[in-house]
Amino acid sequence: MPATSPTAVPSFRSRIGHDARSGYYTAPHRYRLHLSPACPHCLQIAVTHSLLALDETLPVTLLPAVPDAPGGGHRVLRPLYEASSHQHPGPAVAPVLSDNWTGRIVSTHTPDILRDLARQFRGHGPDLHPRGAEEAIAAVGRLCEQGITEPAQRAGQPGGDPAARDIALATLLRALDVLEWRLDSREHLLGGELTLADVQLWVTLIQLDTVHRHHLDVAAVHQITDHPHLWAYAQRLATYPAFGSHLDLDGIACRHHAHCRGQEAAGAAVQIVDWAAYARRKAPEPVRQPG
């Protein structure tokens, strides 16, 4: 499939609890995030981390856009994977939430990490995962994955059945129509306040424009563009430092070209948003851990 990573993310899914009985409990400087913001999963976590102003509580190691180990992993993460799973057979990929006290991985599961950041590390930041909104946020996550990302990938597949590509594009456009209608009368997806639903959708739209568009035809991209409230919303979020400062456009392009085996289509020439205008700060250089 075009524009996809060739490797699956290994699953480590421990959770951060409230107290010592949980094993992993909230403590300043105990944990570390390992992120490559060119990866959409990592970008969601990086934006959430910034929204919650967790720099002093939960440090971040930034990794290169393109993994540097055989099989698609990051060499610097291999010791964590080996410590967490003896002779771990898969790639050492990001995102990773690690425990400095044990030298092991807590989680590689993005939804769990996002929820734990919002609930356990929130501090004085905004309530990105409010009580009672759990299902609404999960529904947006499903819509992003099943209604936008997966159909965009299928619609951009070279060869194959044209009817299947048309069905995929129709699925994508229906999802965008739903979001366009919702954002016609709301500042954010769930109302007046930012939540994890907005973070998920914003990253999904970034991927749609900077990655999946390159495999669609011009007519399809114009149909995607014809959702003015949705794209105005995406641009508005990009003006927030917690969003725009993490936009590594060169990194996204490098990651796409490293992983993608599909052919570029005419839609690549029809940019939806000039994201470079919102990436206000140069992406930080990756921080390498010793060893």
Q: Where in the chain is the domain with CATH 3.40.30.10?
A: 20-120
pLDDT beneath 70: ranges in the chain: 1-10, 18-22, 160, 280-291
Q: Where in the chain is the domain with CATH 1.20.1050.10?
A: 134-277
Burial of 210 (0-12, 13-18, 19+ CB in 10 A): buried
Q: Tokens for 101, please give them.
A: 């006290």
Model pLDDT, residue 287: 45
Rounded to 5°, angle at Cα 228 from 197 and 188: 25
CATH class label, 20-120? alpha beta
Q: Report whether 230 contacts 172 (CB < 8 A).
A: no
Separation in Å, CA 290 to CA 67, 76, 87, 173, 287: 17, 8, 21, 46, 10
CATH class label, 134-277? mainly alpha
Q: What is the value of pTM for the model shown? A: 0.91
